[in-house]
Amino acid sequence: MIEDELTPCRYGFALLRFIHKIAALRAIYPAARILLSKFDFKSAYRRVHFRAKSALQSCITTKGLGGLDLALVSLRTTVGGSPCPLIFSEISETVTDLTNAIIRCSDNDPASFPSHYSHLLGPAKVEPDDVPLAAACSLMIDPEADKFGTADVFLDDIFSAIPQLDGDSPRDRGAQAALLALDVVGRPLLLDGGESLPRDEVLAINKAIAEGTPATRLIVLGWMIDTRRLLISLPTDKFTAWTADINDFLLSKGRRVKLRTLDTMVGRLQHVANIMVQGNHFLGRLRSVVLLADKFKGTRLSSKEMKDLVLWKDFLVVAHTGIDLNLLTTREPNNILRTDACEHGLGGYSLKTGRAWRWEIPLHLRGRKSINFLEFLACVVGNAQHQGGRSSSWLLLP
């Protein structure tokens, strides 16, 4: 495989992009509902067929019965194949671009030209009106979200955020845009046995019924997103299961742990650290343990690594309770703090308020910590000295 000749696959920041788009829509519509929906391709990779030359180039040789040499030729892309995400991205991103074009098309009338999947959408699932609408902070970047709404994609998942204005129904052009785009890419199945070969619908029907109906709260890429409160949280099932797994690790003190078990745990914690970015600092020792387990086919956790897991239980509680989406967007700072440190003390000031502070280190404590540690401590103290409210953003300049 020559990776340089494949279309680049840029899915790593799909969730973060979507969060920025939701915040941008909230800024445009401070008092409107923002409805989420998600649709999946059915058997995505298996729909991509190789050309004859490509199939022969990707065959696998093995020994069969009687010692015969066999060549296994894959006629379609396979789950786990390294080029498959890059190949399928050409399809899913094209469908998403078409979805956004349909959302913005003023001539599209779903009542006269509906998708044949439209019957899967039920009444919108919304929060009570007495739940206050959280405000979005001003963004420093343009996430390319406009008044009509927007859609994004992660591999075979297409998810959208559409504002619900007065008079809109859950079957408006925004909610049906992705379904209509899938209609264009994959034709409807012929009824009454008219298909010459068995084939599935392009859309994953069961998932569409569960996740396609517009809602103000929806699980997207493993996270519960609440567009009314502007919160993102770890779903209850993941929180309960992952906390129980950490408790099992803590009870296994002194026992040998397998690589697969450790790798799964660190992967789950990395999922949380993608939103709680500071958590990456507390994954270093655990990642090192995974490397040891890979080398020695298992390992034991030290007391420090056990303490990291205890701390991660607290992180999971925070993630499950909910994190403000404004804390995850690139925003214009409303406070700029300057802090510094030396062997004799810490200090800092706010460029906005002019408020300054300093703390002289007592003689008996000097030289016990590095300058890097003192500078980090000055940032923490400076933030505490000028702590703002829920919507404050900070730019710390050590």
Q: Which residues of 73-107 are buried (b: 16+ CB within 10 A; e: fewer)?
A: eeeebeeeeebbbbbbbebbbebbebbbebbbeee
The answer to whether residues 338 and 323 belong to one domain is: no
The answer to whether residues 314 and 339 belong to one domain is: no
Hey, which residues does 394 pair with through a beta bridge?
Answer: 335
Residue 168 included in any domain: yes
What are the φ/ψ torsions at residue 199 (nearest 5 degrees)? Answer: -150, 150
pTM (2 decimals)? 0.81
Which of 192, 223, 254 terminates a domain? The answer is 223
DSSP-derived letter for residue 85 is: H
- The predicted-structure confidence for 345-382, as pLDDT tens digits, reads as follows 999 998 888 888 888 999 998 888 899 999 999 988 88
- Residue 225 is predicted with a pLDDT of 95
The answer to whether residues 374 and 240 belong to one domain is: no
Residue 92 included in any domain: yes
CA distance linking residue 226 with residue 62, whole number of Å: 51
The answer to whether residues 136 and 160 belong to one domain is: yes
The answer to whether residues 17 and 160 belong to one domain is: yes
Residue 63 included in any domain: no
Helix axes 284-296, 303-321, angle to 10 degrees: 120
SS3 161: strand
- Residue 319 is predicted with a pLDDT of 95
CA distance linking residue 201 with residue 227, whole number of Å: 30
Two tokens, residue 27: 């800024």
Q: Which residue has the tokens 């109906």?
A: 213
Which of 191, 223, 255 terminates a domain? The answer is 223
The answer to whether residues 260 and 208 belong to one domain is: no
The answer to whether residues 165 and 32 belong to one domain is: yes
DSSP-derived letter for residue 361 is: P
The answer to whether residues 167 and 191 belong to one domain is: yes
Residue 112 included in any domain: yes
Radius of gyration of the chain (CA): 26
Residues in CB range of 235: below 8 A, 6 or more apart = 219, 222, 223, 224
- Residue 321 is predicted with a pLDDT of 95
Residue 62 included in any domain: no
Q: Would strands 231-233 and 345-350 be described as parallel, antiparallel, or unpaired?
A: unpaired
- Residue 326 is predicted with a pLDDT of 92
- Residue 167 is predicted with a pLDDT of 57
- Residue 78 is predicted with a pLDDT of 74
Question: Taking the C-alpha atoms of 317, 319, 320 and 324 in order, what is their torsion angle to the nearest 10 degrees?
Answer: 130
Residue 70 included in any domain: no
CB 38 within 8 A of CB 157: yes
Low-confidence ranges of the chain (pLDDT < 70): 1, 10-12, 166-173, 191-193, 195, 386-398
Residue 266 included in any domain: yes
- Residue 394 is predicted with a pLDDT of 45
The answer to whether residues 150 and 287 belong to one domain is: no
The answer to whether residues 102 and 208 belong to one domain is: yes
SS3 108: coil
Task: Provide the CATH number for the domain around residue 352.
Answer: 3.10.20
The answer to whether residues 209 and 338 belong to one domain is: no
- Residue 171 is predicted with a pLDDT of 47
Q: Which residue has the tokens 């590095």?
A: 370
Tell me, rounded to whole angstroms, the distance of Cα 298 from its chain centroid. Answer: 30
CB 120 within 8 A of CB 76: no
- How many angstroms separate the most distant Cα atoms in the chain? 89
Domain housing 362: 333-397
H/E run at residue 375: helix 371-385
Residue 65 included in any domain: no
CA distance linking residue 143 with residue 332, whole number of Å: 14
Q: Which residues of 155-181 are buried (b: 16+ CB within 10 A; e: fewer)?
A: bbbbbbbbbbeeebebbbbbbbbbbbb
Q: How many domains does the chain have?
A: 3
The answer to whether residues 313 and 354 belong to one domain is: no
- Residue 392 is predicted with a pLDDT of 45
CA distance linking residue 204 with residue 206, whole number of Å: 6
Which of 181, 200, 223 terminates a domain? The answer is 223
